[in-house]
Amino acid sequence: MIRAGLRWLLGLFYLAAGWFHLTTPAPFLAIMPGWVPWPLEVVYWTGLAEVAGALALLQPFGPLLRKAGGAGLAAYALAVWPANFNHLLIDLARPDGGWGLAYHLPRLAAQPLLVWAALWTGGVTGWPFRPPPAHSAGSASTE
């Protein structure tokens, strides 16, 4: 019940975030690290990745697709982490401090939690709530 609730919450969050990336790219372009090629296209692709991952996570047809969505959203959360660090550096360089450390430090610390939540709600891992499945010689993992 908790996993399903968090799966819906996470899926709706990523669906909204993806829509925002696709319809309003300017805030994301502003925090994009300078070394990223084709920034506008990257923002659009990240929006599509969020929408696709959210739909895979929320679909009722199969756990394998849900696992793929969870793994994809976890990889996505890792891939965009540099933009979060870049946003912190941009704000620290501003005379007014921008959003400030009270915003950025929890945001940066929450990124691993988003990775875990995507993996857990997608059924990729049961950690820390259930032990990993026992493996015997010749058996395949069911997790």
Inside any domain, residue 98 = yes
User: Does 143 map to a domain?
Assistant: no
137 within domain boundaries: no
pTM: 0.84
The answer to whether residue 131 sits within a structural domain is no
| Average pLDDT over every residue of 83-98 | 91
Percent of the chain with pLDDT over 70: 91
Q: Would 67 be classed as within a structural domain?
A: yes
Once rounded to an integer, what is the mean pLDDT over residues 109-120? 95
Would 135 be classed as within a structural domain? no
Domain that holds residue 52: 2-121
Q: In the chain, which ranges are continuous DSSP H helix? A: 2-23, 26-30, 39-58, 63-79, 81-93, 101-121
pLDDT of residue 134: 59
Average pLDDT over residues 36-63: 96
Q: How many domains does the chain have?
A: 1
47 neighbors 19 (Cβ within 8 angstroms):
yes
Contact 49, 27 (CB under 8 A): no
Q: Which of 33-47, 60-74, 108-122, 123-137 has the lowest mean pLDDT?
A: 123-137
Is the pLDDT at 127 greater than 80? The verdict is yes
